Amino acid sequence: MSLKRITTPEGDVYFIDSVSGQRVKTKMDVIKTALVSNAIPTVGTVSEKILNPDEEQIETLKNTKKWFAIAQNNNGEKIVYQLETFQNEMEKNIIEGIHSANNPIDTYTKNDKGEWTKVSSTITQFTRGYFKLGVLYRPVWSHAVSGLKWGALIGVAIKLFDTFIMLLQVEEGMAFLFLIAIGVCFIPRIGMGLMIVVSLILSRLSKVNFFFMALAGALVGAIIGCLPGMALGGIIGLVRRDNLPKAKDAESEENHVVVKSVVLPLVFGLCIIWFYIFVFNPWLIEALS
């Protein structure tokens, strides 16, 4: 599109498409319209709404964003969703029936090298990656998966704290060095690599490899916590599902969702905890002694 700038005698500025001869709506036009109608202008802000984007608009998004998605609605129109607001906007559109489960959606993601990848899927497939959207179609399973993740994280935290307390009882200096090795892990981007380096340096001082100690503790904690967390999440989903907002075309979850979301994780989780307390821990204590 080739634009020609026009300045009126009053000092107003607007643009004309030199090919079609039509006036092009500018950001200022939208703001003026919003002021007259007491509406909130959305063009040019983070929540900018774009319908049926052309190639030029897609290229503009690629130059200014790191992530965006283009989803087709039930009228065949294509809606652009941006990272900052897509969950709230898509949730509203799904609840209102603007999107259906099988509507196609393309997700564009830019990596650290500046390269773009495009992934095509459907609305339901896309929503599975986001709890807030997933519960609109699969409330029990979405809660169970979220519970699995939280259970693993809580299990890791508890096990690392347990290891710290154990070291504190044996040798306060070792406990302090373990705390340092864990702490550097939370430094963005370089944390894990830095933790390995720090652990190797500390191992020369204490003859203990804190990296493998932390890794083993985190692994054990995740295994112990994930399944009970999944069962608890499934129970919460069962309790909440009738009170949660749903997609207009949402179908009832399969009959065995309770079995795979609550019963099996609970049974296997309790078995793992029993094995850890009555088999693994006694063996570890005997081996260390």
**Main-chain dihedrals φ then ψ at residue 102, nearest 5 degrees:** -95, 5
How is residue 169 written in tokens?
A: 């009882």
Question: What pLDDT score was predicted for residue 194?
Answer: 76
CA 232, CA 154: separation in Å to the nearest integer? 13
Stretches where the chain sits below pLDDT 70 are: 1-49, 206, 287-289
Question: What pLDDT score was predicted for residue 27?
Answer: 45
Question: What pLDDT score was predicted for residue 155?
Answer: 95
Question: What pLDDT score was predicted for residue 209?
Answer: 76
CA 135, CA 100: separation in Å to the nearest integer? 15
Measured CA angle at 72 (ends 66, 77), to 5 deg: 110
**Could you tell me the strand order of the sheet in which 13-17 lies?**
3-7, 13-17, 23-24
β 116-122/104-110 pair status:
antiparallel
CA 47, CA 154: separation in Å to the nearest integer? 35
Name the DSSP letter for residue 58: H
Question: What pLDDT score was predicted for residue 9?
Answer: 56
pTM of the predicted structure, to 2 decimals: 0.75
> Per DSSP, what are the bridge partners of residue 104?
122
Question: What pLDDT score was predicted for residue 4?
Answer: 58
Question: What pLDDT score was predicted for residue 254?
Answer: 86
